[in-house]
Amino acid sequence: MDRFVVSLSLVAAVGLGALAPASAQAAPPPLVSSAAAVPATTATGTVSVRLLRSSGTALGLPGAAVRLVGAWPFERDATTDSTGALTFADVPVGSRYWLSVTPPPTAGHGRRTPVMTTDLTVRADAPTAVDVTLPVGGTLGGRLVGPWPTPPAGLTVEVYGNRTGTSLTSVTDAEGRYFFSGMPTDLYTATVVAAPGAVPTVWRQDVEAETATTPASHVAAAPRYVHTTYDLQVVVDEPDPVNAPGPDLDGAVVTITDTATGAVMTQALDATSSPRKVAQFIVPSGRYTVGVETASHQRWWWAGQYVPVPLVRSAAEAVPISVTYGADRSTDVFLAPQSPTP
Pick the CATH number of 44-133 from 1.10.10.10, 3.30.750.24, 3.40.50.10490, 2.60.40.10: 2.60.40.10
What residues contact residue 261 under an 8 Å CB cut-off, 6+ apart? 286
Cβ burial 174-188 (10 Å sphere, 16+ → b, else e): eebbbebbbbbbbbb
CATH homologous superfamily of 136-228 equals Immunoglobulins (2.60.40.10)
Angle 234-235-236 from CA coordinates, rounded to 5°: 115
Could you give the CA distance from residue 89 to residue 75 in angstroms, rounded to a whole number? 12
Asked whether 235 and 275 are in contact (CB, 8 A), the reply is: no
Report pLDDT for 97.
94
**Structural domain boundaries in the chain:** 44-133, 136-228, 229-342
Phi and psi at 67, nearest 5°, equal -125, 130
Report pLDDT for 194.
84
Report pLDDT for 247.
53
Helix/strand number for the chain, H first, E second: 2, 23
Report pLDDT for 199.
74
Q: If residue 333 lies in a helix (H) or strand (E), which one and from where to where?
A: strand 331-335
Find out whether the peptide bond into 239 is cis, omega within 30 degrees of 0. Answer: no
Could you give the CA distance from residue 207 to residue 209 in angstroms, rounded to a whole number? 7
Identify the three-state secondary structure at position 267: strand
Pick the CATH number of 229-342 from 3.40.50, 2.60.40, 3.20.20, 2.40.50: 2.60.40
Report pLDDT for 282.
74
pTM of the shown model: 0.54
- The answer to whether 44-133 and 229-342 have equal CATH topology is yes
Give me the sheet containing 167-171, strands edge to edge.
Answer: 167-171, 156-161, 186-192, 201-207
Report pLDDT for 87.
96
The residue ranges of the chain whose pLDDT is under 50 are: 1-25, 30-39, 107-108, 110-111, 244-245, 296-318, 326, 328-329, 336-342
2, amino acid identity: D
Report pLDDT for 202.
86
Could you give the CA distance from residue 193 to residue 209 in angstroms, rounded to a whole number? 27
Give per-residue pLDDT as tens, 210-240. 888 888 899 998 888 887 766 777 777 666 5
Report pLDDT for 31.
41
